[in-house]
Amino acid sequence: MFKKIMKGGHKKPSKSEANDSSLFGYGNPGPGTGANVVVNHASRPGPSPPGPDSIVALVLAPTGTVELLPSFRDVPVSERQTLFMRKLQICCFQFDFSDTLKSVREKEVKRQTLLEIVDFIQSGSGKITEVCQEGMIKMVGVNIFRCLPPASHENTGQEPTDPEEEEPYLEPSWSHLQLVYELLLRYVVSSDTDTKVAKRYIDHSFVLKLLDLFDSEDHREREYLKTILHRIYGKFMVHRPFIRKAINNIFYRFIYETERHSGIGELLEILGSIINGFALPMKEEHKLFLARALLPLHKPKPIALYHQQLSYCITQFVEKDFKLADTVIRGLLKYWPLTNCQKEVLFLGELEEVLEATQSAEFQRCMVSLFRQIARCLNSSHFQVAERALFLWNNEHIVSLIAQNRKVILPIIFEALEKNIKSHWNQAVNGLTVNVRKMFMDMDAELFEECQMQYAEKEARARDVEEQRQMTWKRLADVAAHRGGEDMVAA
């Protein structure tokens, strides 16, 4: 309840001041006004119809009503462009959705008008002019580029949690916003949309404002944004480097400044498809993106919210260019969690996917540091971490890599295996450890016996050191007791 109250409170400014009406040439209607709406009023004649080259800002008097315009099929083809502009004018008006009983009729008129415009664009019944395209994109901007409500953590200071564990935020104006997003999507994907014309209106500024909206807490809005931005990336080749750079900047700010953003998962989904289309040999720019943006995304605390998409992107890089496996594995080891067991389980799952696409040469470069970390995971007191590490031996490709390099790997993890068998509290971990130990024994009995002997010698030395330590302490205690007795006699 507290979150719902705060949602209606103060608004946080958009990163790009997207609600600045001067960007689009419209007035900014205040409460109770009706800018940008065609009206009928009893005290004066109705306004003359706007021309096809402009969207006229008109004021709605308190007793005025929104004019319900005819449908496109009810007017001659020659008048449809003018009617299209008049309908766009109606759709530019903003309503207060915090009060469901306010302006009910006007809201419904706008919704029906939006539906008609979407159907008109989707049907392709008439190719709209450049002026109409410009007006349509401006109308889209007026509706979607707005101040987002404050996120729950901005009011409570709480840590980000799993969206499934809390009540999701739903945008009150979604009945209108959804249709505006649908219109933009249909316009972008339409075969009638000329890229050379559209890029004048869907420019860098428009793309940046779209990216700002990915911080919306409404998952429905982020899904539309994801689809639209992906389509823009596919259709407008001129925007591709800019979009990649802008997403990079969002990641940098998230990693190094805020660790707060609602749309990291959706942005990574877009990048997953982009990475899949990278040509070989891979550009240096893309390799830098992997090293400077994707791998550091393993650092923030809320990684669980987007790890699945991140893991997919990382794996795509390794599958595209297997030589990047060493870079990726070393990056994972750099950001390996020290105290967060659930995060460790995620890392181990991702590591398995990366190793599955790793070739022998790259594996050999990083196997020493890698299996030192795996040995620590095997001995983790958290059974899920130890269990997930032992599951690596269920993967045939990983087992084959280990078998080829067993002379290096077995001495590193042998002690961890023995400790698990002797003292790990979890029976499942014990059983899996016995299976892995037997696998190594069958793989190379001679090497196994050698490691066993070295381990026994190390244990014997450790026992000698411990005995020596105990004897030293005993001698010190005896000396102290003796001196204490002498002091008592002297006193």
What's residue 157's pLDDT? Answer: 55
Spatial distance between the Cα atoms of 391 and 325, rounded to a whole number of angstroms: 20
Contacts of 293 (CB under 8 A, 6+ apart): 248, 251, 252, 255
Q: What string of DSSP letters covers 34-64?
A: -TT--EEBTTBPPPPPPPTT-----PPPTT-
Mean pLDDT of 411-425: 94
pLDDT in tens, 146-188: 998 887 655 555 555 555 556 788 899 999 999 999 999 999 9
CATH placement of domain 13-149+170-202 = 1.25.10.10
Q: How confident is residue 86, by pLDDT bands cut at 50, 70 and 90?
A: very high
Mean pLDDT of 207-226: 96
3-state SS class at 262: coil
The residue that leads in pLDDT, 445 or 47, is 445
What's residue 484's pLDDT? Answer: 73
How many other CB atoms are found less than 10 A from the CB of residue 227? 17
Spell out the domain ranges in the chain: 13-149+170-202, 328-443
The pLDDT of residue 282 is above 60: yes
What's residue 49's pLDDT? Answer: 39
What's residue 123's pLDDT? Answer: 82
What's residue 97's pLDDT? Answer: 87
The pLDDT of residue 4 is above 90: no
Tell me what percent of the residues of the chain surpass a pLDDT of 70. 81
| Matching residue, tokens 């349509």 | 136
The pLDDT of residue 21 is above 50: no
Is 4:172 a contact under the CB 8 Å cutoff? no
Alpha-carbon distances of 257 from 150, 249, 300, rounded to whole Å: 18, 11, 10
What are the two backbone dihedrals, phi and then psi, of residue 252, each rounded to the nearest 5 degrees? -60, -45
59-63, 326-330, 345-349, 404-408, range with the lowest pLDDT: 59-63
The pLDDT of residue 35 is above 70: no
Q: How confident is residue 24, by pLDDT bands cut at 50, 70 and 90?
A: very low
The pLDDT of residue 372 is above 50: yes
Is 88:111 a contact under the CB 8 Å cutoff? no
The residue that leads in pLDDT, 125 or 475, is 475
Q: What does the longest C-alpha to C-alpha distance in the chain come to?
A: 124
What are the two backbone dihedrals, phi and then psi, of residue 44, each rounded to the nearest 5 degrees? -150, 155
Tell me what percent of the residues of the chain surpass a pLDDT of 90. 68
What's residue 149's pLDDT? Answer: 83
What's residue 482's pLDDT? Answer: 85
Mean pLDDT of 222-226: 97
pLDDT in tens, 472-485: 999 999 899 888 76
The pLDDT of residue 378 is above 90: yes
3-state SS class at 444: coil
